[in-house]
Amino acid sequence: MEQQLQQLKEEALKKIQDAQGVKELNDVRVAYLGKKGPITDLLKGMGKLPAEERPKMGALVNVVRETVTEALESRMAVLEEAAIQAQLENESIDVTLPGRPAPAGNHHPLTRVVEEIEDFFISMGYEIAEGPEVEKDYYNFEALNLPKGHPARDMQDSFYISEDVLLRTHTSPVQARTMEAKKGEAIKIICPGKVYRRDNDDATHSHQFTQIEGLVVGENIRMSDLKGTLDLFAKKMFGADREIRLRPSFFPFTEPSVEMDISCFKCGGAGCNVCKKTGWIEILGAGMVHPNVLKMAGYDPSVVTGFAFGMGPERIAMLKYGVEDIRHFYTNDIRFISQFNRTEA
Ligand code: PHE
C-alpha cells in the first residue's frame, strides 16, 4: 500500500507539472483529491487495515495529500499569473499606431452663406427675426400692399392650404409681422428663411428656396442709408473693390424700389460669362418701405420711414462658388456637399 501511495503521488505531481492551463489543473485536482479520487478511496479503505498499521498509514496518506495540495496551489499560482499576462498582452494598445481619421462633416454651402450674411448684419446691429412658413394671405400679400386681385401677385404663385393660408412666397411677410409686434418702435432686423413658389424646377428655379429679408424702420431712415448698407454688404460678400449700382424697379411694398447690381467680381466690369458681358451682376431687390405698409402696421409714415431688402442666398452661393444648378443644394449628393470644406472657424 505504501508503494501504491508513492506511485500515486508521483503520478499526481507529474500531471500537476504538465498541466498547461487553469482548467486542466482543476481537472487534476478533482481527479486526485476529489470525493471520488484515489486518495479519498485510500482513506476510506483505512478501516480494513490491521489496527496497528492505521496511524502510520493515515499519517502517510495525509502527507501525500498535503504534498499534492501544495503542488497544486503553487502550480495554480503560476498558471493564473501566466493567464493574466497573456490577457494583458492580448489587450494591450499600441499607442504608437497612427489614429483612425474621424470624418468630420462640413456645413452645407447654403448654411455657410446664410451664416456669413447673418454675421455681417449682426455686426451692424441687426437682430434676427423669424416668421412662419405657413402664412396668412394677409401677411404674405395684403399687409404688403398687394390686395386680393393685385396683378403683381401673379409673379409669386404659391401652394395654398386654404383660401387664406399659403406657403409664404417670400420672407417679406416678416416685415409686416415685425412691425405689428413692435407697435411703433424702431426696427433693425434680418430674417432668413425658407420660401415656396409654384415654379417648375430647373437649373435656376426651385419650388422651395431661401431668402433673407432686411428691414430698418425709424426716424430719418433715408435712401442713402439703404445704399450705404448695401454697398458695405457687397464689399463684404464679394470683395473690397466691388461697386454697386441701383436700378429702378417695382415692388408693391417699397417706393421707390430698386434692384441692386454689383460690379462683376470675375472680370471687374470688362464683361465675361459670369456677368453675361454686361459687367454687372444682379444681387437683390430693395426699396423704401411703402407708406401704406407702414400705415397698415400701425406706424405713422409722416414720422418714421424705413428701408427693406430681400435676397436669395442660393443665388449668392451660386455666384460665389460657381454652382451652375440650384438643385445641387437640395439633392444631397455628398460629392457636391463635400467640396465646400469648412476652412474658417
Ligand atoms: N420680397 C421680394 C421678392 O421676393 C424682395 C424684396 C424684399 C424687395 C424687400 C424689396 C424689399 O421678390
Same domain, 17 and 114: no
Long-range pairs, 71-80, Cβ under 8 A, ≥24: 71/12, 71/13, 71/16, 71/17, 72/16, 72/25, 72/28, 72/29, 72/33, 75/16, 75/17, 75/19, 75/25, 76/22, 76/25, 79/19, 79/20, 79/21, 79/22, 79/25, 80/22
Same domain, 75 and 214: no
Ligand 1 in contact with 170 (CB < 6 A)?
yes
What percent of the chain is predicted at pLDDT more than 90?
63
Q: In this model, does residue 203 exceed pLDDT 90?
A: yes
Ligand 1 in contact with 258 (CB < 6 A)?
no
Same domain, 184 and 332: yes
Residue 342 lies in a domain: no
Q: In this model, does residue 246 exceed pLDDT 50?
A: yes
Banded pLDDT at 117 (limits 50, 70, 90):
very high
Geometric angle at alpha carbon 206, from 204 and 208, rounded to 5°: 145
The predicted pLDDT at position 112 comes to 92
Residue 146 lies in a domain: yes
Ligand 1 in contact with 172 (CB < 6 A)?
yes
* Average pLDDT of the residues in 317-321: 92
Instruction: Domain of residue 225: give its range.
Output: 109-337
Q: In this model, does residue 326 exceed pLDDT 90?
A: yes
pTM across the whole model = 0.72
Same domain, 121 and 191: yes
Residue 273 lies in a domain: yes
Which of 172, 205, 211 to probe ligand 1 with, by most ligand atoms within 8 A of CB?
Answer: 172
The predicted pLDDT at position 256 comes to 98
Q: How many domains does the chain have?
A: 2
The predicted pLDDT at position 146 comes to 96
Separation of 321 CA from ligand 1 center, angstroms?
23
Residue 344 lies in a domain: no
φ, ψ dihedrals at 132, nearest 5°? -75, 145
Same domain, 120 and 77: no
* Average pLDDT of the residues in 274-301: 96
pLDDT one-digit tens code per residue, 82-102:
889 988 988 888 889 998 888
pLDDT one-digit tens code per residue, 17-65:
888 888 888 888 888 888 888 888 877 888 888 888 888 888 888 888 8
Ligand 1 in contact with 251 (CB < 6 A)?
yes
Q: Which residue is closest in CA terms to ligand 1's atom 4?
A: 170
Strands 165-167 and 187-196, sheet pairing? unpaired
Q: What value does the mean pLDDT of the chain take?
A: 92
**What residues form DSSP beta bridges with 280?**
263
Residue 204 lies in a domain: yes
**Least confident range of 198-207, 220-229, 247-256:** 198-207
- Under 8 Å CB-to-CB from 267, ≥6 apart: which residues? 274, 275, 279
Same domain, 235 and 291: yes
Separation of 17 CA from ligand 1 center, angstroms?
92
Ligand 1 in contact with 260 (CB < 6 A)?
no
Ligand 1 in contact with 311 (CB < 6 A)?
no
Separation of 285 CA from ligand 1 center, angstroms?
5
The predicted pLDDT at position 345 comes to 41
Is residue 318 within 8 A of residue 340, CB to CB? The reply is no
Separation of 265 CA from ligand 1 center, angstroms?
24
pLDDT one-digit tens code per residue, 163-197:
999 999 999 999 999 999 999 999 999 999 999 99
Banded pLDDT at 150 (limits 50, 70, 90):
very high
Same domain, 6 and 130: no
Same domain, 225 and 124: yes
Look at phi and psi of residue 236 and say left if phi exceeds 0, alpha if psi is from -120 to 50, else beta: alpha
SS (H, E, C) the chain: CHHHHHHHHHHHHHHHHHCCCHHHHHHHHHHHHCCCCHHHHHHHHHHHCCCCCHHHHHHHHHHHHHHHHHHHHHHHHHHHHHHHHHHHHHHCCCCCCCCCCCCCCCCCHHHHHHHHHHHHHHHCCCEECCCCCEEEHHHHCHHHCCCCCCHHHHHHCCCECCCCEEECCCCCHHHHHHHHHHCCCCEEEEEEEEEECCCCCCCCCCCEEEEEEEEEEECCCCHHHHHHHHHHHHHHHHCCCCCEEEEEEEECCEEEEEEEEEECCCCCCCCCCCCCCCCEEEEEEEEEECHHHHHHCCCCCCCCEEEEEEECHHHHHHHHHCCCCHHHHCCCCHHHHCCCCCCCC
Residue 138 lies in a domain: yes
Same domain, 45 and 77: yes
CA dist 143 and 47 (Å) reads 115
Ligand 1 in contact with 140 (CB < 6 A)?
no
Residue 23 lies in a domain: yes
Which of 141, 156, 168, 170 to probe ligand 1 with, by most ligand atoms within 8 A of CB?
Answer: 170
Q: In this model, does residue 341 exceed pLDDT 80?
A: no
pLDDT one-digit tens code per residue, 263-275:
999 999 899 998 9
Same domain, 86 and 138: no
Ligand 1 in contact with 285 (CB < 6 A)?
yes
The predicted pLDDT at position 342 comes to 56
Ligand 1 nearest-atom number relative to CA 257? 10
Where residue 209 sits, what CATH number does that domain have?
3.30.930.10
Separation of 216 CA from ligand 1 center, angstroms?
14
Q: Which residue is closest in CA terms to ligand 1's atom 9?
A: 309
Residue 274 lies in a domain: yes
Is residue 131 within 8 A of residue 191, CB to CB? The reply is yes
φ, ψ dihedrals at 285, nearest 5°? -110, 150
Residue ending a domain, choose from 90, 121, 145: 90
Same domain, 140 and 76: no
* Average pLDDT of the residues in 333-340: 88
Separation of 62 CA from ligand 1 center, angstroms?
104
More confident residue, 106 or 157: 157
* Average pLDDT of the residues in 68-82: 89
The predicted pLDDT at position 343 comes to 56
Same domain, 67 and 148: no
More confident residue, 34 or 251: 251
Separation of 154 CA from ligand 1 center, angstroms?
14
